Amino acid sequence: MTTATITSYLSEHRERHLEELKDLLSVPSVSALPAHNADTLRAAEWMSESLRKLGMENVALHPTIGHPIVYGDWLHAGEDKPTVLIYGHYDVQPVDPLHLWDTPPFEPAIRDERIYARGASDDKGQTFMHIKALEAVLATTGTLPFNFKFCIEGEEEVGSPNLPAFIEQNKKLLAADVVVVSDTSMIEEDKPTICYGLRGMCGFQLDVKGPKRDLHSGLYGGAVANPIHAVVELLGSFHDGDGVVTVDGFYDKVVPLTVEEKAAFEAIGFDEAVVKEEVGVQEFYGEKGYSFYERTWVRPTLEINGVYGGFQGDGIKTVLPSEAHAKITCRLVPDQDPDEILALLQEHVTMHKPAGVEVTVSLFDKGAPFVTPFNHPAIQAASRAFEKVWEVPTTFTRGGGSLPIVSTLDEVLQAPIVLMGFGLPSDNVHAPNENFKLKNFDKGLLTLCAYWEELAAALDVE
C-alpha cells in the first residue's frame, strides 16, 4: 500500500463518501427516546448494510433487551495474523434545545468546511471513517493486513447498559489483539492526540445516625453525640494537610509514571494562569511534587461530593440533628482495584468512627482504571501514523475521568486499547450544532490507513 494510491482513492471517492455519511446522519437514532426506536434500528441496519458492502462477513444485528449490537468480521488475513477490533456507536444524543440549531440536526449540512448534524462527530462520523478507511485499503491493495472485527453498539449515549454482558458472553467472537476506538477528541486543532489511559472510579455513601429524632440543643447539646460533628470528623480523617489520602494502603498499588510519560506530559505545555482564570481559583491545590496533569490523570483522589444533614433553612434552629450524610467518590489509577479500595475505605471508616453514633457505608457503582502501556507498539504505531499525516508531534494524554465501555473492553478482552479520536473541542458534541471538521474527516481517513500500515510494520506482519 502506498500513501499516494490511498490518497488518490480517497479524494476520488470523497463526494460519494460524504453523501453516504449524510445519509447515515439523517437517521435520528436517539437511543434515549423510545419514540425513535424504529430510527435507531434503522441506523443499526444502515451500519450492517455498510459493513456487508465493505466485504465484512458474519454481519449480524445481535439483539439485546435494548438496541441491537452490530457485528461483522473479515478474517481472511489468516489465523497467524493479528486481529483488530473496532468499537463504535451508531446511536446519538437527543437534540433539544432544537431552536438553537442553525440547521435541523438530522438534515446534514456542510458549511464553513464542517459537516453539521447530530452524530457528525460523536460517533457516527468517526465510526463511518473506519469503514471507509478499510474500503480504501481493500480497493487499492485487494486485501487487509489484519483480521478485522467491528462491534458497533446503539446504547453508548444511555450508558451502554447491555454491552458488558454482550462482551462477556461473546469473548471468543470479539477476541482481538488490538482494540481501536475513535470516539474522543484531539486536545486542540492540529494537535493529534492519543489518550492511552483513563482513571477508574469507586464511590460510597456515609450515613451517620445519632439519636432517634432531632433533639433540642439546649436540652441535650453537649451530652449526646452530634451526627454532623461525627461526619465532619470522619471526612477530615481522609486527607492530611498536603492533600495526601491517609487511608491505609490507598497508594500501595499505584504505578509510578515512567520518564517517557513525564516528558510527554511536560511537552503538552500547561498554562496555569489560563486554567486558574477558567475555574476561578487563586491557586491550585494537591499532592506535592506532582504537576496538574499528573494530579488529574495519574494520581488517585478521594473527593467529598456532597454533605448534608441538619437545618438548612433561613436563620438558625437550635437543633441537634438525628442524622447526617456524605457522598464520596475516588478516582482510581492503575493498578488500584476498586473492590480492594472500597474494602480499605470501609476499614478506615470503622477505625475512625467517632463515639456515640452509628455509621453505615453503602457502595455505589465502580469501574476499573485502564492504561495501555505508553511504549506498547499499538500506541507508538498510532503516534507515527498521526505524525505522518499531520506533520506535527503527537500529543499523549491520559484522562482524569472514566469511560465505562473502555474499562469493560480492557477487562474482558485483555487487549491493548488505542483511543484514536479525530474530534475537536469545537465539535459541540451533545450540544446544538454538533459538527465535524472536514479536514479532520479527510486527514483522519488518511491517518487510519497509515495506522494499519504502521501497525503491520510494528507487529511484523507482512
* Residues making contact with Zn ion (CB under 5 A): 122-123, 183
Of 153 and 183, which CB lies nearer to Zn ion in the complex structure?
A: 183
Of 183 and 323, which CB lies nearer to Zn ion in the complex structure?
A: 183
Q: How many CA atoms lie within 13 A of 230 on its CB side?
A: 29
Q: Measured from the CB of residue 154, what is the shortest distance to Zn ion in angstroms?
A: 12
Query: Distance between CA 52 and CA 72 in Å, rounded?
Result: 8
Q: Measured from the CB of residue 90, what is the shortest distance to Zn ion in angstroms?
A: 10
Q: How many CA atoms lie within 13 A of 310 on its CB side?
A: 22
Q: Measured from the CB of residue 417, what is the shortest distance to Zn ion in angstroms?
A: 15
Of 155 and 183, which CB lies nearer to Zn ion in the complex structure?
A: 183
Q: Measured from the CB of residue 126, what is the shortest distance to Zn ion in angstroms?
A: 8
Query: Distance between CA 370 and CA 25 in Å, rounded?
Result: 31
Of 156 and 294, which CB lies nearer to Zn ion in the complex structure?
A: 156
Of 119 and 145, which CB lies nearer to Zn ion in the complex structure?
A: 119
Q: Measured from the CB of residue 122, what is the shortest distance to Zn ion in angstroms?
A: 4
Of 226 and 435, which CB lies nearer to Zn ion in the complex structure?
A: 435
Q: Measured from the CB of residue 321, what is the shortest distance to Zn ion in angstroms?
A: 43
Q: Measured from the CB of residue 29, what is the shortest distance to Zn ion in angstroms?
A: 12
Of 89 and 299, which CB lies nearer to Zn ion in the complex structure?
A: 89
